[in-house]
């Protein structure tokens, strides 16, 4: 986070008129028409940004709060502090970070995956089709076999599609 007070060379406790004087002095010396250095445009824009923030009382209060929050170290519990201060602590070998690295690896769908999915999907569709043919039969035992086959085929296809969605989403 940029420290506008350091950019302008003033203290946090300085009044508005001191900030204005310092800004005018810097703007005079860093104006691109006067100062021909290659960084003068960037520096002039930076002091303009700093002055715009610090000259407005509301923006200055918000900025002071952000600066104060940014400069404070994060709070740690005693256990976390002891854990991270161990002599042999290695952050990269920590199980949490190993898990994050594993999750961040992108899984690419290969041609073999597509062929296997299509084949198994085709088998599931055939199972459902033959089950429907059995349901249209006149014999009672063949109709029951067709109903059980239909339910198994639908369950098979749903599990297959759900697994594929999880596989691709990963």
User: Which of 15, 48, 71 is the last residue before a domain boundary?
Assistant: 71
* Residue 103: per-residue pLDDT: 47
Q: Is there a domain that residue 154 lies in?
A: yes
Does the pTM of the predicted model rise above 0.75? Answer: no
CA dihedral 114, 118, 124, 130 (to 10 degrees): -170
CATH assignment at residue 66 = 1.10.287.110
Indicate whether 37 belongs to any domain: yes
151 occurs within a structural domain: yes
Task: Give the count of domains, the chain.
Answer: 2
- 115 and 67 part of one domain: no
The total of other beta-carbon atoms located within 10 Å of residue 145's CB is: 16
| pLDDT of 76 | 52
Q: Which residues, 6+ apart, have CB-to-CB distance to 55 below 8 Å?
A: 16, 19, 20, 23
**Is residue 101 assigned to a domain?**
no
What contacts 156, CB < 8 A, 6 or more positions away?
A: 124, 127
Which residue ranges of the chain lie beneath pLDDT 50? 99-100, 102-103
Q: What is the pLDDT of residues 2-51, one digit of tens each?
A: 888 888 889 888 888 999 999 999 888 888 888 888 888 888 899 999 99
Residue 4, classed as helix, strand or coil, is helix
Q: Within 13 Å and on the Cβ side, how many CA atoms surround 133?
A: 6
- Contacts of residue 21, defined as CB under 8 A and 6 or more positions apart, other chains included, come to none
| Spatial CA neighbour of 153 closest among 114, 118, 125, 122 | 125
Task: Give burial (CB, 10 Å; 0-12/13-18/19+) of 23.
Answer: buried
Report yes or no on 115 lying in a domain: yes
Containing structural domain, residue 152: 111-169
pLDDT reported for residue 72: 60
Domain end (from 71, 103, 126)? 71
Whether 98 maps to a domain, the answer reads: no
Residue 20 CB coordination number (10 Å): 15
Is 88 part of any domain?
no
Tell me, what's the pLDDT at 24?
92
Is residue 15 one of the residues assigned to a domain?
Answer: yes
């Amino acid at each position: 986070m940029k420290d506008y007070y350091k950019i302008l060379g003033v203290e946090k406790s300085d009044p508005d008129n001191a900030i204005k004087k310092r800004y005018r002095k810097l703007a005079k010396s860093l104006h691109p028409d006067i100062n021909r250095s290659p960084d003068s445009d960037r520096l002039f824009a930076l002091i303009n940004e700093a002055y715009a923030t610090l000259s407005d009382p509301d923006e200055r209060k918000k900025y002071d709060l952000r600066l104060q929050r940014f400069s404070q170290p994060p709070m740690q519990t005693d256990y976390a502090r002891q854990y991270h201060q161990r002599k042999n602590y290695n952050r990269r070998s920590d199980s949490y970070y190993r898990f994050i690295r594993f999750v961040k690896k992108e899984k690419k769908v290969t041609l073999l995956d597509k062929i296997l999915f299509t084949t198994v999907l085709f088998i599931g569709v055939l199972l459902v089709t033959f089950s429907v043919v059995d349901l249209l039969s006149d014999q009672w035992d063949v109709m029951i076999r067709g109903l059980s086959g239909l339910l198994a085929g639908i369950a098979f296809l749903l599990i297959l599609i759900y697994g594929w969605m999880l596989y691709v989403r990963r």
